[in-house]
Structure 1
């Protein structure tokens, strides 16, 4: 039994394409190699290792609730106030020391006989 379906030109092997080789990938491979070369050179000069900065944890999945956020805000506010008070005390001490040194440099008044 012979199949009488019409055959397509695409079904027949094309002998013209037997020697055809697409070297287009080589050009892209050379560009990729050149890119890798300058990257490896920069890494060796700067000591940069991208594996150090590879983050396995996806930051987008970090979710906090309202109560956690409010607790962090209160904590941050308290720490800020404490730091401000400490700096204010240090500034007062510094000004007192400065005033003390300034007073020590001033010439003392001579006591007069009539005072």
Structure 2
């Protein structure tokens, strides 16, 4: 079963001090993509944050070192883990990081 689509994820309400220091990460999926793209800091299950073709999905994380995992839809539309990347968010309190999925090849 595919995960729920998160076109734009509204951040949960946190206390002012926590809310101001979280880092927002957004994944942009181009309009000419071959399917949905997803990301998460968890690897064990399907991603919680999924961007359909031409959309963006966003999430908020602690400003620490994170391992991001990325999924893309295969030919049947199922999301498959594709790659991972370390992202050091230390000293990035309150910032926005936008990741653009460039192509599917």
Normalising by the residue count of structure 2, what TM-score does the alignment of the two structures yield?
0.15
Which structure's relative contact order is higher, taking Cα pairs within 8 Å and 6+ residues apart?
2
Which structure has more strand as a fraction of its residues? Answer: 2
The structure that has the greater radius of gyration is 1
Which structure has more helix as a fraction of its residues? Answer: 1
